[in-house]
Amino acid sequence: MPQNNDKKRILIVEDEKNIVQVLAFNIMQAGYAYDIALDGEEGLKKALTGEYDLILLDLMLPKMDGFEVCRRIRQKLSTPVIIVTAREEEVDKILGFDIGADDYVTKPFSIKILLARIKANIRRYSNEMVINDAGVEQDNRIVIRELEIDPDKYQVTNKGVAVDLTKKEYELLFHLASNAGKVFSREELLEQVWGYDGFFGDIRTVDVTVRRLREKLEIDPTKPEYLITKRGVGYLVK
Ligand code: CA
């Protein structure tokens, strides 16, 4: 059936069967196709087929944990990965380790929020593919003093030295730097960089990403020269 081929496909990697059922039901209701893997090894194997538009990944899994699964997926694919975690405390770990996850939700999660996140991540990923396919030719580099951002190569250099950023760190920096001098609230950044409605996002995500960017870019991260906090308002690059 042709309409089935058009459906976005989501891989659910989760060992708790009741959660799998809830996820599968709601994902189907929302108009997506889904597939299930009940342990980390199976999840990785299926994910690496590249047949999915998004992966929902539990952390505590038999055979291989979600951190490892995510890392290995990222070595090969840029498919969006949303981590589904049971504990709030793990959020810092997810964002802190460079495992390459695009997003997270904490259990017990609201289905409405999860579906909004799924939609935002799939949309952003599809847009990236279109942009990559377009093959931009002109010079799009942004230069701010010693910081240089080359969106065609997804590359950032500071004093001529390449800075290794995660995808989200890069996207946040690029967004702020291409609007240098303009202050963005954390809610605006969630919406414009992460693709969420303010209501669905978690502003800590922005703070953690800013902190990590500063550690990588600034000589003294406590006295940032590029990525500035406008107290009570938000962030800007200048
Ligand atoms: Ca589990």
pLDDT means over runs of 10, the chain (238 residues): 68 95 94 96 95 94 93 88 78 65 81 90 77 57 89 86 89 92 92 77 87 93 94 93
Q: Tell me which DSSP letter residue 194 carries.
A: I
Report how far ligand 1's centroid is from the alpha carbon of 60 (Å).
4
Report how far ligand 1's centroid is from the alpha carbon of 158 (Å).
41
Using the CB atoms, write b or e for 145-172: b if 16+ within 10 Å: eebbbebeeeebbbeeeebebbebbbbb
Report how far ligand 1's centroid is from the alpha carbon of 153 (Å).
37
Report how far ligand 1's centroid is from the alpha carbon of 103 (Å).
17
- pLDDT score of 1: 38
Report how far ligand 1's centroid is from the alpha carbon of 12 (Å).
12
- pLDDT score of 16: 93
Reported pTM: 0.61
| Token representation of residue 15 | 């060992």
| Gap between the Cα atoms of 156 and 154, Å rounded | 7
- pLDDT score of 182: 93
Report how far ligand 1's centroid is from the alpha carbon of 166 (Å).
26
- pLDDT score of 2: 40
- pLDDT score of 75: 85
| Token representation of residue 107 | 């259990």
Report how far ligand 1's centroid is from the alpha carbon of 93 (Å).
17
Report how far ligand 1's centroid is from the alpha carbon of 65 (Å).
9
Report how far ligand 1's centroid is from the alpha carbon of 160 (Å).
44
- pLDDT score of 3: 44
| Gap between the Cα atoms of 195 and 169, Å rounded | 14
